[in-house]
Amino acid sequence: MTAAEAAGARGARDDTVAAVVRQWQAVHPGLDTGPMEIIGRINRCAALLQQAEDAPLRRAGLSRPEFDLLGALRRTGHELTPGELARETFSSGAAVTKRLKQLTGRGLVERRGDARDRRVSHVRLTDAGRDLVDGILPEQLAYETAVLSGLEAPGQDQLAALLSELLMQLEGRTVAVRV
């Protein structure tokens, strides 16, 4: 069954990407829209998840990137430099600097200078930061479980495995794909 046939078979259950694919197929009937059906859905899911703003995090006054930064410090269990935090959270150095300033102001992290190199700082969670992460993580995971509740457990496992394969492939690339 082709992607177009599968989209047609879904009928009334079509998502927004299926409608976009049908429109492209009407304009370019011979075009393979299979990649669009995957990448488009990943992008749409990501956008909707970002719009939802993670309710437990929002109630705690945190953005997802701030929580990711706090989580990196908590799960590694030791101080990290801003550069290490940028790598751990897939963020730019400037974004990490901005978030650290906000989180330091809230008393959730502390920065200390390096004894050997004044250009380097080390960041650690305060007790308040650790307590916040430990308190919100179970609630955040329950929220994420609810978001995924429409998928059966085997489907979630399959989706996680497929996304892991794609992520490993994308992370392993050293050059951009050229067409």
The token duo for 44 is: 């749409």
Mean pLDDT along residues 82-111: 95
Q: What helix, strand, coil percent values describe the chain, rounded to 5?
A: 70, 5, 25
pLDDT for res 115: 83
- 157/151 Cα distance (integer angstroms): 10
Q: Could you tell me if residue 19 is left (phi over 0), alpha (psi between -120 and 50 degrees) or otherwise beta? A: alpha
Give the CA count within 13 Å in the CB-facing half-sphere of 58.
Answer: 8
* Residues 9-48 pLDDT 10s: 544 468 999 999 999 999 999 999 999 999 999 999 998 8
pLDDT for res 173: 61
2 against 69, higher pLDDT:
69
* Residues 147-175 pLDDT 10s: 899 999 999 999 999 999 998 998 886 44
Question: 133 near 103, Cβ under 8 Å?
Answer: no
